[in-house]
Amino acid sequence: MTAFEIPDTAVVVRARLLENADDLDALFVLAALRAQDGLVAEGISILERVLDLNPTYPGGWRFKATLHRMRGEDEAERSAWARSEAIEG
C-alpha cells in the first residue's frame, strides 16, 4: 500500500510559495483556500494576480466568475465569464 502521508493542501501551498512567490498553481489554490475560509475578496485579489501573470491560466476566469457571484457582483461575474468563454470556449 502507499507508504507515505498525503500532506495537507495548505502546507503544500505554503511550501511552494516559499520556493517561488509567483508559483501560479500555488497562488490559484491559495485563492481557493482563502475563499473557502470566507475571505472571498482576498481570494479574488490573489486570483487577479494569477491572471495578471497568466491571463489564460486554466479555469482562472471561470473561478473568478464564481467568486464574484459569491459576493453578488453581477457585472464582474458576467465579465469574468465572458473572458473564460473567449479563452476556453
- Interface ranges with other proteins (CB under 8 A): 1-2, 4, 6-7, 9, 12-13, 16, 23-26, 28-29, 32-33, 35-36, 57-60, 62-63, 65-66, 84, 88-89
| 10-21 CB burial, b ≥16 within 10 A, e <16 | eeebeebeeeee
- Residue 73, sorted as left (phi over 0), alpha (psi -120 to 50) or beta, turns out to be beta
Write down the least CB distance from residue 30 to other proteins, Å. Answer: 9
CB of 39 to other proteins, least distance (A): 12
> Least distance to other proteins from the beta carbon of 86, Å?
13
Compare residues 60 and 75 and give the one whose CB is closer to other proteins: 60
Q: Is 71 exposed, middle or buried (0-12, 13-18, 19+ CB in 10 A)?
A: middle
